[in-house]
Structure 1
Amino acid sequence: MTERPSLGQLYTQPAPPARTTSQHDLAGSLGEQFSEWIAEDTATKAVALEVDDATEVGTQFDTSLPGRLGRQWYVDNADSFATRDEVAGTDAPDRADEAGSHPTDRVGRRTASYATHPVETTPAAGADVPAAPGAPQTAGTARADQADQRPAPSGRAGLARAGALMAAGTLVSRLLGFLRGTLQAAAIGTTTVPANVWSTANTLPNIVYLLLAGGVINAVLVPQITKSLQHEDGGKGYTDRLLTLAFTILGVLTVLCVAAAPLLYKLYDFNASGSRLALGWSFALICLPQIFFYGMYALLGQVLNARGRFGAFMWAPALANVVAIAGLVYFLARMPRQASIDQWDSSMIWVLAGSATLGIVLQALCLIPVLRRDGYRFSPNFRWRGVGLRAASKVALWAFAAVILQQLGLVVTTNVLNTQPNGEPGKASQEYAFLLFMLPHSLLTVSLVTALFTQMSRAANARNHALVRRDVREGLRLIGVATIPCTVGGIVLAEPLITAFYGEGSVWPIGSIMVPMLLGLSIYGLCVTVQRAFYAYEDARTPFRMQLLCTGIAVVITLGALLVPDRYVGIGIGLALTVSNAAQGFVGLRWLQRTTGRIMVSDIVRSYVRLTLAALVAGVVAFVVFALLAQVVSGRSGALVVLVVAGPIFLLVYVLVARRLQVKEVEELLRPITRRLRRA
């Protein structure tokens, strides 16, 4: 047998030998080869198993390897290495518990006994299909009769594809949402009493949707269905039972909410009486049936996500916006614009509220044929015992409690906003501000975290904390690339942005809420990522504690806003969101590390600093362009000209400065574009 060379001998060769990466999703670089050497060279086993992270591996070796492999090189390229956990297959504490349960190789690595991020050559269809119910997933055991059970995209390429597909759907939906908001502002205004009443009533079914999609469904469905895909039937039996239970609860809840519509509306508008209260009740009765279809959309969408199908879930809201836009166009053509509250009749109420509800119905129903094409057909199954729903219910209860806390905070916020007189920041202004705030968050953060969540759930189910840490780091790194420039650009161009969509009279009511919100855009992404990581571990108790902290701080700041003049209440509302999210995000990240181990963020912080510097330089340039154009253009058309000219200039300067500062995340995002340009 030929004696294997040591790591030092391999490194001194002119070209390192090619090695095949079997389970790590790594770039084809020196980092990949180095991580394989650590895993396979017995001379380095001790070092590989005694350190916690790739940067520490580099620190251990920089005293023994040639000077060109200094410590800083390892710090800058930490993500190219397998950590100790990836080398060993699982964290050290877990190895003791699982001793004797899994075959291991000579360095203590479990031999693919859990689902990992597959390499790009792994077939998408039918991969990682288990051989028996409850058995761990193993690569290469796909069966033809289960080819429809496709795993979610894994690794950077798969994650990028899934994120791009979802971002495209979200972009179309958000653009249609802006058009819908513009038409709605023209129809009923942004600071009028009917506008605030409509916003409050239409928020009621949204609250239940957030309760489901933002808490219970995300906490339960994806992790549970991901595990059930290991069953012989591909998870159909479990999914049928879970959906039957959820639809039953949704139906009962919807009936109860419609019956209690007057009480629900009054809860969010204590000061309502007379015509205002009657209009609110009417809107609420027509909108509250949306609860069932919002829940149906969330449930079916999460089933698709668990099966690795992300696109339809993000594209469906575009259909809802198209229907609502059609209703608003009809309203503008046939009904009086910005009518006073006493002018509203039943036809106006039905056109506005009915078109919105019809859109939500179609948004949910359009997912059914997508699921059928993917091989899943729902069959009602009321036999709920014996399928493991008790464990899921514990998670769901904690998630439900967290969203109840969130909604209590929303009750306070909505009532504070509904105390504002005409012309000042009210509930409708906050809705439009939140729509602008959510655009960059929805385009990248939600799309990215949705794709990451399935991967994190698989890794967490296998107790592979290293891969969870890696997904969290990857999410935070990519989130900053988009959210930081959107924060600076949104603040600099807030005036023309609001003017173009909602008119000059809405700049202060909407902008006073939006600008403080934008300051916490990146932090909001941190909160969502950390929360999903806990849900991946089926831990909903910790997110409840996070929400308790968040709601407490937000309520204090929101109530404090009542002490300032009406004109500045919006600033307090926006700051309440930013400050409370900052508290729960940073505290939650610290709590997460108790489970996953230390998450290295020093390089992410450095990237954020560079991205902020690049965005500030671009912001100064964009502001100069804005100031010059403001001398020659005005009104909504002039604001649109400013956005069309200053927006691309801001983006170009941001990218150029970021590349100059060697921000590798920007390079990664631009590489496919530059490669195609070079080929052309």
Structure 2
Amino acid sequence: MSSLVRNVGTIGGLTLISRIFGFVRDMLLARVLGAGLAADAFQLAFILPNTFRRLFAEGAFSVAFVPMYSRTLHGEGGEGAADRFANDVLSVFLWALLVFSAIMMVAMPGVVWILARDYQAVPGKFELAVFLSRVTFPYLALISLVAMLSGLLNARSRFAPGAFAPVLLNILLISGIILGWWLRGDSHDDRIVAIILAISVSLAGVAQFAYLWWAVRREGLKLRLRLPKLTPEVRRLGMLILPATFGAGIYQVSQFVDTFFATSLPQGSLTLLKLADRLNQMPLGIVGIALGTAILPMLSRHIHVGDAAEAQRLQSNAFEMATLLTLPAAAALAICAPAFTAAFFVGGKFTAADGAIMADIVVALVAGLPAYVIVKILNPGFFAREDTRTPVWTALAALIVNIAINLYVVERYGIVGLAGATAASASLNCLLLYIILHRRGWFHFTGKLALAILRQLVAVAVMAALLWWMMPMLADHYGGSAFERAWSLAALVAAGGAAFFAAAFLVGALDKDLLAMLTRRRARNGAAPTQE
């Protein structure tokens, strides 16, 4: 468990930095663009490459490539065989990305029409969305190559470069917002800001790729660009990617479904949904991505040598860590959503009415926060065994439920109903994945794990009661001066955190072995920073 804690700490710490920069980015974006025409157009343009990135790079490709590369690296061929495999994959992957990106950029008016045909009802909005989407789409090819390079390093337990790369994106986007605001001046033409932001997205892809290429070379990996060659290993990878693409594709289709419904609602709905998701993504990114990234190569090694007991123990530890961090986060975000949205986002072009709607969206989204994270722990149980088909069926079931719920709730409850449908379908997907893992004997819920989570829930209840009591007492300060906003939120966070950890300690929800390892890690980091 110590190596899991160490790797999660590395990934989670750097992801936290990235999420903080991303949070600053969205705060500035809300104040500079608000929830209007240009903001909606940019959000759509940003969604397109990022959705395909999650489909191709972080989804199907990574879950198939990392276990294969890890086995090749630790097999008889060693470094030489791993380098040959990586070069063969790179040669095919690069050309596939270039061809796909070119096709999408030519077809962009049709793509935007499918997702956001209602944008045509607002003069200039559809055309701006098409233009911005063409400017941002090259980011897909660049960030997909970044994901491959990160996979090479992750297989060698070098998680820091891949976790740090998103920081570069957010730094460039923050710079783009500031530059666009300065260029806009007194003209009030928000299109200027949106165009500068779109350019910044593609420039960020260049910066991230350059950084990961340097990190890979520094690690001693020998990568060379050459003509594509379909070797048996590359064909096998393709056979694994295909069902994984359908699985990840189903999830991404659900994201497109959400986008379609959001763009059919009043102007600003898509922007409010994405800004609300930023609050939801803070714990999801720090905990879920860190755990999922860290356990996949470790789980693959345990399964490869036939150590089922270690595989079970690894996933149980990851499950307990996930709930320990996400259950209190979900409860705190749900209760304190009005305070967070008012303090962080309301100001400039972002009105108090926008903030009130966004708070309701946050409450609906975080209902599924534990499920979002746990899915990232359960999926590696299939991927590490090269079973990329089963998650296809669970994701398909969740998608069908998501669409059915949306058809009912969006008309009645608007964007808040859409967010609730997303949380419900994610919870269903999580439940289905666990049932299948349990039935196959690959992972089961132990009494020890159930007792640990029950104790966590007791501590969450104590924290929630305190926050519920404090929220109205500080209500006048959430939208006040910068100082008032800061100290009122600090009071909520400090009181809630202290209440949770004190209650967790008293009821035994904090694993003493885990705390000891975290303490030793901090001591080591204080004495001599590690390479990562």
Deviation string for 1:64-92 (max 9, x for gaps)? xxxxxxxxxxxxxxxxxxxxxxxxxxxxx
**Structure 1 residues 199 and 360: CA distance shift in structure 2, 3 A:** same
Q: Please give the secondary structure, in 1, of the residue aligned with 2:266.
A: coil
1:673 offset after TM fit, Å? 4.2
Give the equivalent residue in structure 1 for 2:113.
266
Q: Please give the secondary structure, in 2, of the residue aligned with 1:539.
A: coil
Of Structure 1 and Structure 2, the greater helix share is in 2
Report 1:152-191 matches (<5 A): 156-189=1-34, 191=35
Q: Does 1:466 align with 2:315?
A: no
Counterpart of 1:202 (choices 46, 52, 57) is 46
**Structure 1 residues 523 and 676: CA distance shift in structure 2, 3 A:** closer
- Unpaired runs of 5+ residues, structure 1, are 1-155
Give the equivalent residue in structure 2 for 1:326.
175
**Structure 1 residues 469 and 544: CA distance shift in structure 2, 3 A:** same
Length, aligned pairs only: 514
Deviation string for 1:128-149 (max 9, x for gaps)? xxxxxxxxxxxxxxxxxxxxxx
TM-score scaled by length of structure 2: 0.91
Equivalents in 1 of 2:513, 2:475: separation in Å?
34
**Structure 1 residues 391 and 633: CA distance shift in structure 2, 3 A:** closer
Give the equivalent residue in structure 2 for 1:486.
329
**Structure 1 residues 478 and 179: CA distance shift in structure 2, 3 A:** same
Equivalents in 1 of 2:500, 2:520: separation in Å?
16
Equivalents in 2 of 1:349, 1:443: separation in Å?
28
Equivalents in 2 of 1:471, 1:482: separation in Å?
17
Report 1:398-409 matches (<5 A): 398-409=243-254
Q: Please give the secondary structure, in 2, of the residue aligned with 1:434.
A: helix
Q: Does 1:617 align with 2:458?
A: no
1:413 offset after TM fit, Å? 1.4
Give the equivalent residue in structure 2 for 1:444.
287
Q: Does 1:561 align with 2:405?
A: no
Answer 1 or 2: higher relative contact order, Cα 8 Å, separation at least 6. 2
Give the equivalent residue in structure 2 for 1:642.
488
1:631 offset after TM fit, Å? 4.9
Give the equivalent residue in structure 2 for 1:590.
435
Q: Is the 8 A contact 1:513 1:574 kept in 2?
A: yes
Give the equivalent residue in structure 1 for 2:85.
238
Counterpart of 1:669 (choices 515, 522, 528) is 515
Equivalents in 2 of 1:344, 1:398: separation in Å?
42
Provide the identity percentage: 21
Equivalents in 2 of 1:530, 1:265: separation in Å?
34
Q: Is the 8 A contact 1:430 1:513 kept in 2?
A: yes
Equivalents in 2 of 1:223, 1:623: separation in Å?
45
- Unpaired runs of 5+ residues, structure 2, are 347-351, 527-532
Equivalents in 1 of 2:306, 2:71: separation in Å?
13
Equivalents in 2 of 1:560, 1:441: separation in Å?
27
Q: Is the 8 A contact 1:437 1:514 kept in 2?
A: yes
1:185 offset after TM fit, Å? 0.8
Equivalents in 1 of 2:329, 2:236: separation in Å?
40
Give the equivalent residue in structure 1 for 2:135.
286
Deviation string for 1:359-388 (max 9, x for gaps)? 222122211111111110211354634442
Letter in 1 for 2:125: R
Letter in 2 for 1:245: V
Q: Is the 8 A contact 2:173 2:200 kept in 1?
A: yes
Give the equivalent residue in structure 2 for 1:656.
502
1:473 offset after TM fit, Å? 0.9
Letter in 2 for 1:615: V
Q: Is the 8 A contact 2:119 2:125 kept in 1?
A: yes
Equivalents in 2 of 1:207, 1:338: separation in Å?
33
Give the equivalent residue in structure 2 for 1:356.
201
1:409 offset after TM fit, Å? 2.1
Equivalents in 1 of 2:363, 2:467: separation in Å?
17
Counterpart of 2:320 (choices 464, 473, 477) is 477
> What is the Cα-based RMSD across aligned positions, in Å?
2.3
Deviation string for 1:571-613 (max 9, x for gaps)? 2112212211111111111212344445233322222222122
Q: Is the 8 A contact 2:467 2:492 kept in 1?
A: yes
Equivalents in 1 of 2:466, 2:419: separation in Å?
26
Q: Is the 8 A contact 1:478 1:665 kept in 2?
A: no
Give the equivalent residue in structure 2 for 1:227.
71
TM-score scaled by length of structure 1: 0.72
Equivalents in 2 of 1:616, 1:544: separation in Å?
35
Indicate the structure (1 or 2) with the bigger Cα radius of gyration.
1
1:302 offset after TM fit, Å? 1.0
Letter in 1 for 2:387: D
